[in-house]
């Protein structure tokens, strides 16, 4: 069947808007009767290590998942980009799983990394959108993310669905390893089930986000900051913006600001701060204030409580619904995507087919 834009100006806009629906589908597929429904062979109980490998946006989903596997399951977790992993001869413990994350399932470096890991680890697991892909076929266990066909070169709905599936894996690992009891699991699953609704609420903020994006489109350089599991999202936000608007953007861990990027700050540099009001909020806010003291233009993305406490002196504050800290990387992906999208639209670039980029990189 032919995939249409269904009234949207770009596939990317359509795919951003589809996220509440596809995410709900993915959650439904993997959660039944208050339990996580995953293949039985996925036994994390006595595992020594997990290795996660991917390219591009999928690699940022892996980086986020590392925070989850460590904190929820106490599982050693290593993450690498496939083009490095495949050549650096990493020793892989037998008692480990290697997880490969890929929208297309055809990325050459990720496939080569999978082949390197084969016969070295207990199980090759893939998290893929295209269920018939090479990566899916060559895995012991292929977990579909159920995002539906993604056409826009810049990945959006595949990213949030990858995150949801990886979070469910981490929750299941935590359960099997005795760190999450039934009551806690039920709480987590309830929160996850509310995410599509929160995404819908977030999407209603699109006009405000678009206005901010139009202002950002004037900039030459943009920084994204985040701490903890919001750090990989800072990297993803910067990637999205540079890919489609051609504005130079970098993502940094908030705490690294003073080790370099603060030298770039002046009144022309927008700094996007991804800061739900979680345990690390005060730390991030103090980094943000260092930016404001140097006249950087701060766009604070937070929730209502965070906005109350910290919006004084920011250039713009975008308020999202409150939600458990665990889920924030998934919800906060939406404003990051929308900022990039509307900055690109304001600049008039080819959003769905940015120059020099391909949807699926099947050559090295
Ligand atoms: C390309 C695409 C990105 C994608 C990356 C990895 O660079 O433009 O959007 O994240 O490949 O692709 P995969 O299909 O393996 O997720």
For the segment 60-78, what is each residue's pLDDT rounded down to a tens digit? 999 999 999 999 999 999 9
For residue 107, which atom of ligand 1 is closest to its CA? 15
Confidence of residue 1 (pLDDT cuts 50, 70, 90): low
Of 152, 162, 107, 198, the closest CA to residue 337 belongs to 152
CA–CA gap between residue 121 and residue 18 (Å, rounded)? 36
Give residue ranges with CB within 6 A of ligand 1.
55-58, 102-104, 107, 110, 153-155, 357, 359-361
109 token code pair: 């470096």
pLDDT in tens, 86-108: 999 999 999 999 999 999 999 99
Record the pTM.
0.97
**Residue 2 pLDDT greater than 80, yes or no:** no
Which of 12, 54, 57 should be mutated for ligand 1, with most atoms under 8 A from CB?
57
For residue 158, which atom of ligand 1 is closest to its CA? 16
CA–CA gap between residue 190 and residue 172 (Å, rounded)? 15
355 token code pair: 């120059």
ipTM computed for the complex: 0.96
Q: What is the pLDDT of residue 3?
A: 83
> 327 to each of 153, 205, 274, 301, 342, how far by Cα in Å?
25, 19, 13, 15, 24
Q: How far is the CA of 266 from the centre of ligand 1 (A)?
A: 33
Report the C-alpha dihedral over residues 349, 21, 362, 358, rounded to 10 degrees.
0
Q: Whose CA is nearest to atom 8 of ligand 1?
A: 359
What is the CA 165 to chain-centroid distance, rounded?
A: 12
Q: How far is the CA of 247 from the centre of ligand 1 (A)?
A: 19
Q: How far is the CA of 55 from the centre of ligand 1 (A)?
A: 6
CA–CA gap between residue 255 and residue 263 (Å, rounded)? 14
Catalytic residue numbers, as ranges: 359
Q: What is the CA radius of gyration of the chain?
A: 20
DSSP structure string for 90-128: ----SSEEEEEEESSS--HHHHHHHHHHTTTSSEEEEEE
Residue 83, Cβ neighbours under 10 Å: how many? 19
């Amino acid at each position: 069947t032919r995939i249409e834009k269904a009234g949207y100006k770009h596939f990317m806009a359509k795919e951003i808007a589809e996220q509440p629906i596809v995410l709900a589908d993915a959650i439904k597929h993997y959660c039944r009767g208050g339990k996580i429904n995953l293949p039985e062979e996925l036994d994390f109980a006595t595992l020594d290590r997990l290795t996660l490998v991917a390219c591009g946006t999928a690699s940022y989903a892996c980086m986020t998942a590392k925070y989850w596997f460590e904190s929820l399951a106490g599982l050693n977790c290593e993450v690498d980009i496939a083009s490095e992993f495949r050549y650096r001869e990493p020793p892989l413990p037998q008692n480990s799983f290697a997880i490969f994350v890929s929208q297309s399932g055809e990325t050459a470096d990720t496939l080569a990394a999978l082949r390197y890991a084969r016969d070295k680890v207990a199980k090759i697991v893939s998290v893929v959108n295209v269920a018939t892909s090479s990566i899916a076929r060559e895995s012991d266990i292929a977990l579909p993310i159920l995002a539906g066909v993604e056409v826009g070169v810049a990945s959006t709905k595949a990213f949030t669905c990858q995150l949801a599936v990886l979070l469910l894996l981490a929750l299941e690992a935590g359960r099997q390893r005795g760190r999450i009891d039934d009551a806690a699991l039920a709480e987590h699953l309830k929160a996850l089930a509310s995410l599509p609704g929160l995404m819908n609420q977030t999407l209603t903020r699109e006009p405000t986000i678009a206005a901010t994006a139009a202002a950002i489109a004037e900039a030459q350089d943009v920084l994204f900051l985040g701490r903890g599991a919001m750090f990989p999202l800072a990297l993803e936000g910067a990637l999205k913006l540079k890919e489609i608007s051609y504005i130079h953007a970098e993502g940094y861990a908030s705490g690294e600001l003073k080790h370099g990027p603060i030298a770039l700050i002046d009144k022309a540099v927008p700094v996007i701060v991804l800061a739900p009001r979680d345990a690390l909020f005060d730390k991030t806010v103090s980094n943000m204030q260092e930016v404001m003291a140097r006249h950087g233009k701060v766009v604070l993305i937070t929730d209502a409580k965070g906005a109350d406490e910290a919006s004084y002196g920011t250039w713009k504050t975008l308020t999202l619904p409150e939600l458990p800290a665990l889920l924030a990387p998934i919800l906060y992906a939406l404003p990051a995507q929308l900022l990039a999208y509307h900055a690109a639209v304001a600049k008039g670039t080819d959003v769905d087919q940015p120059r020099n980029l391909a949807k699926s990189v099947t050559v090295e």
